[in-house]
Amino acid sequence: MRTLAFASRNTKEIMRDLMTLLFGLGFPLVLMTLLSAINASIPKEAAEATTLFKIQNLAPGISVFGLSFIALFSAMLISKDRTTSFVLRLFTSPLRASEFILGYTLPLLPMSIAQTLICYAAALIFGLEFNANILLAVVVNLPIAIVFISVGFIAGTLLNEKAVGGVCGALLTNLSAWFSNIWFDTALVGGWFESLANALPFAHAVNAARYAVLGSFSEIMPELLPVIVYAVALLAAAIAVFSVKINSKH
């Protein structure tokens, strides 16, 4: 009950920043519209050779990339609380670090789902065929959402409001863009670049989402498993870092 009460408070804090919320939810729609317009202007011969911008590949990629902005929400939420007396009162409460993190996570997961649904709703307008696989793709995106949320928690616990904007805004979004197989196939670059892309969770998340949309069910888990490992590890790290922060205040 106390975790749910804390989550309810955090939901109100997120809803209070309406402009940032609308930007986070609407960003995939803008990106989908822009890239679909670019794809429509590509000559037919070139379009046949470039499959990444086809809607069944583009929509899952943008749905994953759009979630990178959730990291900024989670980081700002914690970093703002750290600058007020509110968090000092929380540190004296019986809430454990895991309950703190869960209370911050619960409001962000529905936001992640809503953002993904908006992305796929826009994709339907641009020609994606509706079927139950889209709902599976929404579920498949949850582990990468937890990855981004956890990174935000760690950054927000360790850094101030200005610093988290650089880490979770510029750095993380660029990492997820360059190493995700959304805009170009990392295998074409090869070498250390491809190896790094395969070591990070972003390309795996995009591939899993694409397999879900295409209905290639047997291919989903081999790609999704590394993302789940990252999600569990980063969430555990966020709890550990927050626990250290709590203890240092006592």
pLDDT, tens digit (0-9, with 9 covering 90-100), for 217-243: 999 999 999 999 999 999 999 999 888
Listed in sequence order, the residues at least 6 apart from 62 whose beta carbon sits closer than 8 Å to its beta carbon are: 28, 31, 32, 35, 119, 182
Beta strands in 7-124 (DSSP E): none
Report pLDDT digits (tens) over 199-217.
Answer: 999 999 999 999 999 999 9
Range with the poorest average pLDDT among 64-73, 96-105, 133-142: 96-105
Range with the poorest average pLDDT among 30-39, 67-76, 192-201, 226-235: 30-39
pLDDT score at 49? 45
Give the pLDDT mean for 33-53: 62
How many other CB atoms sit within 10 Å of the CB of residue 24? Answer: 21
Higher pLDDT, 7 or 149: 149
- From the centroid of its chain, how far is CA 48? 30
Confidence bin at 127 (pLDDT 50/70/90) = confident
Confidence bin at 48 (pLDDT 50/70/90) = very low
Listed in sequence order, the residues at least 6 apart from 155 whose beta carbon sits closer than 8 Å to its beta carbon are: 71, 75, 79, 163, 164, 167, 168
Q: Give me the residue spans of the domains in the chain.
A: 2-249
Q: What is the pTM of this model?
A: 0.87
Q: Give me the chain's average pLDDT, please.
A: 82
